[in-house]
Structure 1
C-alpha cells in the first residue's frame, strides 16, 4: 500500500469489526478501515458530506477561512500564506493533501502536524455520526480536519481543495476569501478535457458577497465569468488588480484600483523559494482578511516559507511533484546548470498527460531512471519507455519501484550530477522515505 492512502492493517480488527472499540483504534487501523469503507476512491458531491457535517455541527468554522483551488500553485500559496500569518502572530490551521510520509501532514496547527490522538478522536466522532452514510477516504479526512479546527480554534483556517472545487469536500465550508491559482488540464478522468468547464468547476469555491482572487494572468474566461455570476464582492486578478515586478534586490508588489492607480505597495520584498506569482497572490489575500501584519513579519514570512516536494533540494537531489505539462514547463525553466549530468528519476500515474510531460522534460536530461509505482492508478513503466524511445532518449533504465531506482542512481552517478525526482507525489514520497541514503 502506498504512502498517499495510508497503511492497510492485515489481520487486525477494524472499527467495523464486532466488539471493536472505535475510540481506542490506532491511526493506522483507522486508515486501513477508511480505505475499504467506500466503493470508489473519488466520489465528487457534497450531499452525503453535508448530512454528516450537520449532525456534527461543523458546517462552518469559528475562524476566518481561506480556500485555495487550482491546477498548480495551490500548495505553494497555502505554504506562503501560512508562513506570513504565523510570522504576524496569528494561529493557523492548514488542511492539505495528499501527504508524503505521514497522514498527519494533512492537518496542521501552527505549522506542525497534529497528533494521532486528535485525528483518531475526530474519526471516532465521524464514525458515530454518519450512521449508514458512506464516506470516501478523503471525505472522512476532510471532516476530521473541520472537527480539529472547530475544537482548536485557530485564527485562520487555510483549506486546499483536493480535486476540482465546486464538488470537492473542502467546498462544504463557506470561505471568507477564495483563491484560484491556475487552470490547466489535469484529473481529466473526473473533470473532463474541456478547460473552460474545468475553470468553472474550480471557480465553484467562490462565494456571493466575498472576494475572489485569481492568481494567474493567463486564466480561462470561465473563472472570471463564474465569479461574476456568483456575485463576488470583488474579483482581483494578478496583473490587473494587483501585480509584482522584479527589483534590484527582490521584488516589488502593488495593489491597483479600477483606474490602475497604485493604492498600496511593498518594495524590495525578499526573494522567495516558491513561485512569486503565488507570493503576490498571498499579499492580496492578506489585504482582504483585514489582519494587521507588520512589515518585518511580512518579509520574514515570505523569506522563510518552504514546501516539501516543490523544487526541494537535498544535496545533489532536487525533488518536485510536477506531474502535468504546466508544472513541467515551470520546473524545466528552473533546472540548475551542473558540472556533471542531469539525471531524472521518474514515476507517474496513468491518468496524467504523460506524453506531454515527457515532451517538455526529455531535452533536459542525460539519463533516465524509471520507477514502477504501485496501485491501480500507476502507469506501466513500459508506456514511459516507449515514448522516451520515440523522443530519441536511449540512456534509460527501468526498475520495479522507487527504492530500486534509487539504488541504481546511487551506484551509477557521481557528486557532480544533479538527480531530479518528479512525476508524482508517490515518486517524491518514495525518495523522501529514504532521505538518509541521499548523502551516502
Structure 2
C-alpha cells in the first residue's frame, strides 16, 4: 500500500496544476541551479507511445543487475508517488513531503506542477545516490523540463500525431521536437526509421541506432529497444553486457495498465492506449481473443483523436460503453463520436455497472482510452489505496 500525502501538501502541489503546461527550460534550470546538478548517469526516453514500457523494462534490468536504479514516469495511475521510484519502491510519504517543501522554498520562478515533480524526482535520486536514472520525458522533448539533464544516451520509441498544438501538426515537426533530447556524439536509440527523425539526429551529430520493427507485437519492439539501450549504456560506462540476461530481465518487467489482466471470470483487461497508434497495437493484442465477446468501457481526453481510436478497435469490440473522467480535460460522454449502438453514461460507477451487466464469465471487459480512466477505475474497484499493483478481485 502506498502512503497518502497529508492534505495540506497535496493541495499546495495540486494548485500548481492551474499554472498549466509550460514548454521551456528556464524554470527547471533555475531550480537545478539552486538544488545542485545531478552527477548520476541518465537515460532519457521520449516517444508518442511505448516510452513508459521501455522505461519499466530498463528499470527492471538495472535493478536485477544490482544497480540502485531511479525511475520517473508520468502520469500516475492511483497515487502521485508512483512517479518517483527507486528499485521498484515509490518514494515514501515523509521524503515526498520533505522534498516538496524544499522545492517550494527555493521556487521563485513559479514552477508548474510537472516542473515541480520533475525537480523532486531529480533531487530524490541525487540524495539517494542512485547508480542510474531512467527518465521518461513528459511532452515532446526539446522543451520538456527533463531536457535540462545531460543524458548519456537518449531513446525515442515512436513518433505519432499527438499534442499537435504544442509540437506541430506533422510527423516531421514532431520528430524534430522529440530529437531535441539527443546529444552530439552520444548514442540515440530510435524505435522508428522515420526519415525526419534520422535526419535531425544526424544534424545534431548523435550516434543513431535504429531498432527496426519486425516483431509480432509492440511489446516485443519495446523490449528490443530496451535491450539495445542497455547494451549501449553499458558500452558508454565500460560495463559488461550479457544480452540474454538483459532480454529476460526486460521481459519480466511489470508495467501496470498496459494490457494488464486484473481479473478472470469475467476477464478484465486494463490498457492505457489513448491514441490511434496505440489502438493499432491494442488491436493486435486483442486478436488472441477473436472468439470472445468484448465490451469496452472507454473514456477520452478532449485533445485526443478518439474517433480514429474507436474506428481502429471497432471490429474487435462488440459493445462500447462510453463514460467520462474527472480530469478537466476529459471529454463529455455525449460528445464522443462513437457507433450509434454505443451506450453513453457519464457516471463511471453506473457505466461500470452497465458494462458488467453485458459480460459473462466467457467475455472480456476492456477498460481503455485514457490512463486517467484506468486510475479512476482502479480506485472505484479497489478503493483509494489501490496502489499501482491491484489485487485480483471484484467490487
Q: TM-score w.r.t. structure 2 length?
A: 0.89
- Deviation at residue 439 of structure 1 after TM alignment: 3.4
Residues 27 and 340 from structure 1, CA distance in 2 versus in 1: closer, same or farther, beyond 3 angstroms? Answer: same
> Counterpart of 2:107?
130
Query: Which deviates more, 371-380 or 403-412?
Result: 403-412
> Counterpart of 1:401?
347
> Counterpart of 2:302?
350
Residues 184 and 117 from structure 1, CA distance in 2 versus in 1: closer, same or farther, beyond 3 angstroms? Answer: same
Whether 1:319 aligns to 2:270 is: yes
What is the 5 A alignment of 1:89-238? 89-131=66-108, 133-217=109-193, 219=194, 221-232=195-206, 234-238=207-211
Whether 1:371 aligns to 2:333 is: no
**Quick one: distance in 1 between partners of 2:110 and 2:379?**
32
- Deviation at residue 339 of structure 1 after TM alignment: 5.3
**Quick one: distance in 2 between partners of 1:411 and 1:245?**
37
> Counterpart of 1:415?
361
Whether 1:439 aligns to 2:387 is: no
Secondary structure of 1:76's match?
A: helix
Q: Of residues 222, 236, 251 in structure 2, which corresponds to 1:303?
A: 251
Secondary structure of 1:333's match?
A: helix
Whether 1:43 aligns to 2:22 is: yes
- Deviation at residue 111 of structure 1 after TM alignment: 1.1
- Deviation at residue 163 of structure 1 after TM alignment: 0.6
Query: Aligned-pair RMSD on alpha carbons?
Result: 2.1
CA contact (8 A) 2:227 2:250 kept: no
Q: Deviations over 1:66-121 (max 9, x none)?
A: 00000001011001111111122211100100001011100000011110111111
Q: Which has the larger radius of gyration?
A: 1
Query: Which deviates more, 339-348 or 108-117?
Result: 339-348
Secondary structure of 1:213's match?
A: strand
Q: Of residues 330, 349, 368 in structure 1, which corresponds to 2:281?
A: 330
**Quick one: distance in 1 between partners of 2:241 and 2:14?**
42
**Quick one: distance in 2 between partners of 1:379 and 1:311?**
23
Q: TM-score w.r.t. structure 1 length?
A: 0.81
Q: Deviations over 1:117-168 (max 9, x none)?
A: 111111111111123x111100000000010011111111000001110111
Whether 1:69 aligns to 2:69 is: no
- Deviation at residue 34 of structure 1 after TM alignment: 2.5
> Counterpart of 2:314?
362
> Counterpart of 2:387?
none
CA contact (8 A) 2:46 2:141 kept: yes
- Deviation at residue 409 of structure 1 after TM alignment: 2.2
**Quick one: distance in 1 between partners of 2:360 and 2:393?**
12
**Quick one: distance in 2 between partners of 1:381 and 1:310?**
23
- Deviation at residue 62 of structure 1 after TM alignment: 2.3
Unaligned runs of 5+ in 2: 383-391
Q: Of residues 307, 332, 339 in structure 2, which corresponds to 1:388?
A: 339
Secondary structure of 2:179's match?
A: helix
CA contact (8 A) 1:166 1:201 kept: yes
Identify which of structures 1 and 2 has the higher relative contact order when contacts are C-alpha pairs closer than 8 Å and 6+ apart.
Answer: 2
